Structure 1
Amino acid sequence: MSLFSFHPRWCAGLALLACGAAHAQAPVPQQETVHFGTYENDSFFDSDRFYTNGVQLSIKRSRDRRGEFAKALTRRACAWLGCEDSVFLTSQTNYGQLMYTPRDITIAQPQPEDRPWAGLLYVEHAYALLSPDQRTLTTLSAQVGVTGPASLSEDAQKLFHKIMDRPEPRGWHNQIGGSLALMASAERRTALDSLSLALPGDVQLNTAGYWRLAAGNTMTYAAAGLAVVVGKDLPAVSPPPPGIGNKLVQDAIGTTTCMLKWLQCTAFAVVETRLMGRNIFLDGRMWRDDPSVQRRKVVTDLMVGTRIDFPDTRSASHGPWFLQFKVTRRSREFRSSIPVPRHRIAAITVGTEF
């Protein structure tokens, strides 16, 4: 079986990544805010298990609206991370819900050898800071949320399954209990010249290496990864998801087209390995008798995707609409006496600028 097995209609979308002749777009006014929503689900691969669903609404801004307290916190963090000379690039607020289930959601009894039922409802805020040479991007984020019944994951899944006429989830009374979930993280992403090159047709292939540290009662881990982005008019280091940062710069200029005059495209591939110290969705709450499984200490994600912009959809009230599609293949996250397969998730992101 191939690394990623997905429907043929998705392949047609990925085929747009073969960029053709350049057609320069006219300069466009600066956009200060981007709104986008992301829907992740494993049902794209005909499964309903493990990390089974995620939804997130995001608002990204280019204007620096930090108060004195937030500026002091970022200065202190940068003194430790080595980004004191970096300048504000964007801020981003995320509102989302995550949902985790065992493989068979129709079993009402506890399933101690399978992944626990769990949910998270959260809000997250992040600041992106760019170095003076525009080759290193530092992202600082903080997340606060709730687990257990207050996450509304049970209500959301049951409603969705009822509407879509799918099997009723019957084991949510076994979920990891309610708690205040906190997590802070820092990431450094640096352009790698030795792995970047110019391709025919004014196409760029940019490679960046990154590391991330996260700590909290939600998750604690250390991660390292390599990200490759292919497209036109790319910055040296692209913030994830690739392309959105391009729209939030002073004197913004529209990127060149892909194969068609009314289409712009960017492709990306990422490999990331995490050394896990804690995961509330596998370990349960600290000092509580929650369902849990034996967490694997090393987890690897392999991601590929494409972002497509539609420049002709720009109007006087908003910027162009865009669509991003991403596929993730995740290694086994826990050990059990029953077989634990690798997991695949697809994510669709849709948004526009205001």
Structure 2
Amino acid sequence: MSLFSFNPCRRASLALVAPALLACGAVHAQTPTQKQETVHFGTYENDSFFDTDRFYTNGVQLSIKRSRDQRSDFAKALTRRACVWFDCEDSALLTSQTNYGQLMYTPGNITLAAPQPQDRPWAGLLYVEQSYALLSPDQRTLTTLTAQVGVTGPASLSEDAQKLFHKIMDRPAPKGWHNQIGGSLSVMASAERRTALEALSAELPGDVQLNTAGYWRVAAGNTMTYAAGGLAVVVGKDLPAVSPPPPGIGNKLAKEAFGPTTCMIKWLQCTAFGAVETRLMARNVFLDGRMFRDDPSVKRRHFVTDLIVGMRLDFPDSRTASHGPWFVQFKVTRRSREFRSSFPIPRHRMAAITFGTEF
């Protein structure tokens, strides 16, 4: 299918994902300037780093992060109400972040046109979401509130994006997108609370710190409904008591005050991180299909676990008058089996590269 043969609904949806293709630029010499109040970064996530093309197979996201409080009165009222529930009434807004992205899911064999009822359904999501991070007065607890809205089905443009990418890269053409989960408005709200664990943190040789935080997250909506808990470790210098999750798809928000510092040479900063997270899944539209519709579906597993490791490199001398310093981050996720089938379902691995500027 030609890239220019979308129907009007798809053209409208393209406006959400096109900015993700623009997250690159030149690096210039350092120029004295005030730190930016708005920064941008893009994330590309794919399982092709491990020579597979299945399950959660691709994700792209453009993120815009702000340090100034630009919330509307309505947004302030919503966050205040949410904080009554999640015990963050005395917390101050740290950053806000807007994400535009696309997610893509396929069965293990994308060259089959026939339905594959025992494998993961074809599915896509095009979304926009807004997050707010709030830090407690003792700076040991970080609460993140997020609202997401998007579209599934053909309007997500996942079919068009995968076909175009495979054509450009001379890969096998996906043939089963006519079996994808149908179109609908998709909404989800989530809250995460991350708390520093002093007993599991330590000072290491060379002024290096190892900080550990425990966290929980709840999400509800017709996209996903689940409860999660996890443990996150960050290794670096001059770390805060509680570090935010690294930037990328599904990981919200950071701030200059939490930034990494020089760990090897003057012009290079680095931070390593790892996490283990377990989710109790009550609903997943990408496995269950739409509510009250006859969509493809599989038997969802109730518990899913992610193991995550990664490294982030910052280049402080690349700051200019027009943008903050550039950074690059690489993250690997190993996910347990998400559904049951009559044939063996392997664990899944994917990697993500995030590239952009920071404060």
TM over 0.5: yes
Question: Quick check: 1:290 aligned with 2:264?
Answer: no
> In the TM superposition, what is the alpha-carbon distance from 1:205 to its structure 2 partner?
0.6
| C-alpha distance in 2 between matches for 1:28 and 1:238 | 26
Q: Where does residue 25 of structure 2 map in the other structure? A: none
Q: Label 1:197 to 1:61 Cα distance change in 2 as closer, same or farther (>3 A).
A: same
The one of 332, 344, 352 aligned to 1:347: 352
Is 2:62–2:100's contact at 8 Å kept on the other side of the alignment? Answer: yes
State the one-letter code of the partner of 2:38: T
Q: Where does residue 245 of structure 1 map in the other structure? A: 254
Is 1:221–1:278's contact at 8 Å kept on the other side of the alignment? Answer: yes
- TM-score computed with the length of structure 2 as normaliser: 0.88
Which secondary structure state, in structure 1, belongs to the residue aligned with residue 146 of structure 2? strand
- Structure 1: runs of 5 or more not aligned: 1-25
| C-alpha distance in 2 between matches for 1:353 and 1:347 | 18
Q: Cα deviation per residue 1:239-279 (whole Å; 9 max; x = unaligned)? A: 121797342x4xx9x75312222110000000000000000
Q: Cα deviation per residue 1:299-352 (whole Å; 9 max; x = unaligned)? A: 000000011001111112211100000000000000000110000000000011
The one of 151, 161, 164 aligned to 1:156: 161
Q: Cα deviation per residue 1:136-176 (whole Å; 9 max; x = unaligned)? A: 00000000000000000000000000000000000000000
Q: Where does residue 41 of structure 2 map in the other structure? A: 36
Instruction: Give the alignment of 1:13-162 within 5 angstroms.
Output: 29-162=34-167
Is 2:180–2:296's contact at 8 Å kept on the other side of the alignment? Answer: yes
Moved more, 209-218 or 64-73: 64-73
Moved more, 307-316 or 98-107: 307-316
Q: Where does residue 266 of structure 1 map in the other structure? A: 271
Q: Where does residue 189 of structure 1 map in the other structure? A: 194
| C-alpha distance in 1 between matches for 2:253 and 2:296 | 39
Question: Quick check: 1:203 aligned with 2:212?
Answer: no
Which secondary structure state, in structure 1, belongs to the residue aligned with residue 233 of structure 2? strand
State the one-letter code of the partner of 2:290: R
Q: Cα deviation per residue 1:97-142 (whole Å; 9 max; x = unaligned)? A: 0000000000000000000000000000000000000000000000
State the one-letter code of the partner of 2:178: H
Q: Cα deviation per residue 1:165-206 (whole Å; 9 max; x = unaligned)? A: 000000000000000000000000000000011111111111
> In the TM superposition, what is the alpha-carbon distance from 1:30 to its structure 2 partner?
2.9
Q: Where does residue 337 of structure 1 map in the other structure? A: 342
Which secondary structure state, in structure 2, belongs to the residue aligned with residue 290 of structure 1? coil
Q: Label 1:89 to 1:208 Cα distance change in 2 as closer, same or farther (>3 A).
A: same
The one of 311, 322, 344 aligned to 1:317: 322
| C-alpha distance in 2 between matches for 1:46 and 1:232 | 35
Moved more, 200-209 or 41-50: 200-209
The one of 194, 219, 222 aligned to 2:224: 219
Is 1:234–1:246's contact at 8 Å kept on the other side of the alignment? Answer: no
State the one-letter code of the partner of 1:105: I
Moved more, 196-205 or 115-124: 196-205
Which secondary structure state, in structure 1, belongs to the residue aligned with residue 171 of structure 2? coil
> In the TM superposition, what is the alpha-carbon distance from 1:31 to its structure 2 partner?
2.5
> In the TM superposition, what is the alpha-carbon distance from 1:237 to its structure 2 partner?
1.1
Which secondary structure state, in structure 1, belongs to the residue aligned with residue 167 of structure 2? helix
- Structure 2: runs of 5 or more not aligned: 1-30
> In the TM superposition, what is the alpha-carbon distance from 1:28 to its structure 2 partner?
7.3
Q: Cα deviation per residue 1:282-302 (whole Å; 9 max; x = unaligned)? A: 000000000000000000000
Is 1:109–1:171's contact at 8 Å kept on the other side of the alignment? Answer: yes
Question: Quick check: 1:305 aligned with 2:310?
Answer: yes
Question: Quick check: 1:171 aligned with 2:180?
Answer: no
| C-alpha distance in 1 between matches for 2:76 and 2:32 | 32
Q: Label 1:294 to 1:165 Cα distance change in 2 as closer, same or farther (>3 A).
A: same
Which secondary structure state, in structure 2, belongs to the residue aligned with residue 39 of structure 1? strand
State the one-letter code of the partner of 1:225: G
Question: Quick check: 1:236 aligned with 2:241?
Answer: yes
Q: Label 1:141 to 1:206 Cα distance change in 2 as closer, same or farther (>3 A).
A: same
Q: Where does residue 9 of structure 1 map in the other structure? A: none
| C-alpha distance in 1 between matches for 2:35 and 2:340 | 50
Which secondary structure state, in structure 2, belongs to the residue aligned with residue 228 of structure 1? strand
State the one-letter code of the partner of 2:45: E
Is 2:44–2:59's contact at 8 Å kept on the other side of the alignment? Answer: yes
| C-alpha distance in 2 between matches for 1:246 and 1:130 | 11
User: Quick one: percent identity of the two aligned structures?
Assistant: 82
- TM-score computed with the length of structure 1 as normaliser: 0.89
Q: Flag as ranges the 4+ runs of structure 1 deviating above 2 A.
A: 26-31, 242-246
| C-alpha distance in 1 between matches for 2:35 and 2:346 | 46
